[in-house]
Chain A
């Protein structure tokens, strides 16, 4: 089965840029979505189709995908960005999530 690998944790200082990666074989051939989940809340879509932002998502959030790695970039990180982030793709029409990355802003 297809597996997505994310680092368990990433730390960033307020105002700096955070990068969360998601890796898998030939990941660049698939579209990647990214979800933000704050504690006790439902997941929120922040990036879809590699680099598109849903309405209402700040342009501080951006995404890229090439080769075997997709990256979610958060520019000018804020305390409100502290959350778990999950990448997701479709593999033969079945959904696959990465294990999640806890982003700490400190």
Chain B
């Protein structure tokens, strides 16, 4: 079955950076994109962005634009999400998910994502 296994919990100080990994297995990595979603404690889901694994196109949420970088390593079927200049507002569980990009384009309106990873708790505290 499709699996996305994320890296472990992180504790960071304000102003630092964090890089979360998401290793995919049991499907052809480059046939799907990867999207990232986060959830602050007791709050709802917040979309952060996506990356196409076939051409490295990216789309980021305006809220994190300029602070986030999403990358992939197709040789290891691993996606990465780096978030810089952390503040306490970035404390959250971060999820990666497989993104089905219709017709090979992650810009399509009919795209959807499934198979979330187990989540990675990032705590930002001084």
Contacts and interface: CB of A to CB of B under 8 A. Distances in A.
A86 B109 CA distance: 18
By size class, the interface of chain A is 20 to 34
Task: Name A's interface SS.
Answer: strand
By size class, the interface of chain B is 20 to 34
Contact of A42 (B106, B107, B110, B119): B119
A45 B112 contact: yes
Contact of B45 (A30, A90, A93, A97): A97
A45 B2 CA distance: 14
Given A42-B95, A44-B116, A30 B47 contact: no
Interface of B: 35, 37, 44-47, 50, 59, 61-62, 95, 97, 106-119
5 smallest beta-carbon distances between A and B, as pairs: A95-B47, A48-B112, A42-B116, A100-B44, A45-B114
13 contacts: A31-B109, A33-B113, A42-B95, A42-B117, A43-B45, A43-B116, A45-B112, A45-B114, A86-B45, A90-B109, A97-B44, A97-B46, A100-B45
